Structure 1
Amino acid sequence: MALTEAQKRAKAKYQKKNREKQARYTLKSKAKSFIKNEANDKELKELIELIKERKLVLKKEEE
C-alpha cells in the first residue's frame, strides 16, 4: 500500500518527535527477532543470565 504525501509527512514528523521511542522499538524488535529466529542454545543461556542480572539491577533501583 503506497503512502500519500500527507501520510509521509505525518510519519516523518512523528519519527522526528519520537526518536527515543522509535529507537527503543527498533531495538526491542531486533532482540525479539534474534531470540525467536537466530539464537542457539549457548546464546539463549547467555541472554537468560543477562536478563537475570538486569532484573537485579532494576530491583535495587526500586528500593
Structure 2
Amino acid sequence: MQEKKRKGYATQAQQNEANKRYYHASEENRQKRLYTSAKSTAKNFVRTKATKEDLEELEDLILEEKKKF
C-alpha cells in the first residue's frame, strides 16, 4: 500500500507562516537556521567571489580554528 505524501500548503503565505511558527518555536531552531544560513553564505563566497588573497586569509583562519580542536 502506498503512503500518502503530505501535500504542503496551498499558498506561499501559508508556508511562510508555518516557517515562522517553526523557527520562533525555540531558540534551538533559530540557532540552527542562523548556522545553516551563515554556512551557505560562506560557501557561496568562496565559490563565486573570493580572490586568491581572500582564500589565503581564510585558509590561515581555518588552520587557527582547527588548532582549537
CA displacement 1:1-59 (0-9 Å, x = unmatched)? x4252x333211112131101111111011001000000000000001100100101x2
Using CA pairs under 8 Å that are at least 6 residues apart, name the structure with larger relative contact order, 1 or 2.
1
Q: Which amino acid aligns with 1:15?
A: Y
Within the candidate set 40, 53, 56, 2:64 is matched to: 53
TM-score (norm. length: structure 2):
0.71
Moved over 6 A (4+): none
Within the candidate set 8, 32, 50, 2:16 is matched to: 8
Residue equivalent to 1:41? 52
- C-alpha root-mean-square deviation of aligned residues, in Å? 1.4
Select the structure that is richer in helix. Answer: 1
TM-score (norm. length: structure 1):
0.77
Structure 1, unpaired ranges of 5+? none
- Which of the two has higher C-alpha Rg? 2
The count of aligned residue pairs is 56
* Alpha-carbon distance in structure 2 between the residues aligned to 1:47 and 1:15: 30
